Chains A and B, each alone.
Chain A
Amino acid sequence: MDSALIPRGVKRCPLWQFLLFISVVGAVLLWGVYAMLLCWIKGLNQTNMNDYYGFAIWIWADLAVIAVGGGAFFTGLLTYIFGKDELKSIINYAVLIGFICYSSALLILAYDIGQPLRGWFIFWHANVHSMLTEVAFCLSCYFGVLTIEFIPLILENRQIDRVPFFHHLSHNMHEIMAVFAATGVFLSFFHQGSLGGVAGVLFGRPFAFREGILIWPWTFFLFTWSAAACGPCFTILITKITETVTRKKLVKDSAIELLAKISGWMILTYIIAKTADTWYWATVTAPSMGQTLMDFYSNNPLYGIWILFAEIVICGFVPAAILITKKGRKNSVALWIAVILAVVGVCINRWVMVLQVMAVPVMSFDYWAMYFPSWQEIATTILPVAYGIILVGLAHRYLPVFPDESELNPIETLPAEEEETVEPPVDLEQELKPAEA
């Protein structure tokens, strides 16, 4: 029924199966939309935010998707600026994943501000001393870059590409994509960094506070570094999940291995820097404020010292050690473990830098503040996941996301069947006319 829209030379599941899948995920999406509307209509009293927790759980999700979405800018940098042509096999998917992550991040911010109709205030009445203003500027502009990078992929749909203007537009955008990619790298550097900077400048929160260079605390650089290091792992992870679900090989091994290798070295250097930063903070910065390391960790279920070990050793050094070795990258199980650990690691980092910062007592009368989100927060946090799955499903079905898919999965069809699949519907109609007559 929709075969005229499906890219040439690839096989897709029947339409009913696809629609059933979309319906199931769509139900989850609607649940999230309902919760989102509650937050907009009734207000942020729908959340469990309180005087201790000024950030809902979705702010962690926001920072996490921005971090893992960093795969788009870093893969774009490697492909368009450094000329790593092997990555052309995966760059479309990296852009799609980045687009989903950043649109999700903006969506989360839209319900976080509670009054989205006033969202433009941050651009017009900008507070030029705020790192969050910088984040808002760069995030919005970079979403524009990702949209521009995503548009050619949409225009390459079989039916849209037949329109000469769209065909040329797609080609022209590909030609100057390096300019857009470079702009994206510039914007990503600053918004990833400023998200870290927001935590690092909180001198009233000694768990987060860091020294640094000029106005930029060390967390500024660590956040950018970790996003560039772990973002590609998320791209690989989603690619592997997509390959498992579709039971097809979609990306060449050479592309995955190159991205995994670069990511491995980035994680290793990042985690060494993170260890040094943590060591200096624990032995110099925190004691200078009258605190010791163990003041920041407690015996409660969420914030024990285990979380630091999990972030740095298990989800830092372990994936780095796997990915920098050829044997580790080539072993499918090890690669899965490494990319999962790296993604979990960066999510733990954002978790502690958002939530543990607020949980740690800072006054003599304070206590360890635990937090459990309301169902509305959970639903709105799951909403972007459902939205992402639907968009991946639609893009995989109708757009040439994986340029090597037909080569990696050759279809053996009879000539008659091939003609039926390849011919556009207009031509079919023309062919039918004599028979009708």
Chain B
Amino acid sequence: MFPFSFEWIWDMDHVVFMGGLWYALTILGIGMTYCIIKAAIDACRGNDEHHH
């Protein structure tokens, strides 16, 4: 549910509940985007200095 949905109400319950969901999803999304972009750049540069 987003603030532009018809059933959205600007109250603390909606902000905390849905805010928590977006917060978690944003962290996961940004984290994975960073990893994928960095991996693409590293692969293009042929950077192979790390071993795990």
Contacts and interface: CB of A to CB of B under 8 A. Distances in A.
Interface of A: 123-126, 128-129, 133-134, 137-138, 141, 144-145, 148, 156, 164-174, 176, 179-180, 183, 186-187, 190
13 contacts: A128-B14, A137-B24, A141-B25, A144-B28, A164-B46, A165-B39, A168-B39, A169-B35, A170-B52, A171-B39, A172-B34, A172-B38, A173-B35
B38 A186 contact: no
Contacts of B46: 164
B35 A172 contact: yes
Contacts of B25: 141, 144
Nearest to A170: B52
Most A-side CB within 10 Å, residue of B39, B43, B50: B39
4 closest Cβ contacts across the A-B interface?
A169-B39, A168-B39, A168-B42, A128-B17
A125 B8 CA distance: 9
Interface string B5-38: 1010000011011101100110110011011101
A124 B40 CA distance: 34
B13 to A, nearest CB: 4
Nearest to B13: A128
Contacts of B1: 123-126
Most B-side CB within 10 Å, residue of A166, A171, A176: A171
Contact of B27 (A134, A174, A183): A183
A183 B28 contact: yes
B35 to A, nearest CB: 4
A168 B43 contact: yes
A176 B43 contact: no
B5 A168 contact: no
B42 to A, nearest CB: 4
A187 B24 CA distance: 8
A133 B24 contact: no
Contacts of B18: 126, 128
Interface residues of B, number: 29
Contacts of B38: 168, 172
B52 A179 contact: no
Nearest to A137: B21
A278 B40 CA distance: 55
A126 B28 contact: no
A179 B29 CA distance: 12
B24 A186 contact: yes
B24 A176 contact: no
B6 to A, nearest CB: 10
B31 A125 contact: no
Contacts of B40: 165, 168
A183 B24 contact: yes
Contacts of B20: 137, 190
B43 A165 contact: yes
A128 B38 CA distance: 37
A137 B50 CA distance: 36
B39 A172 contact: yes
A134 B34 contact: no
Contacts of A166: 39
A123 B35 CA distance: 27
A167 to B, nearest CB: 8
Contact of B48 (A133, A164, A190): A164
B27 A179 contact: yes
A431 to B, nearest CB: 24
A275 to B, nearest CB: 32
A201 B28 CA distance: 31
B34 A141 contact: no
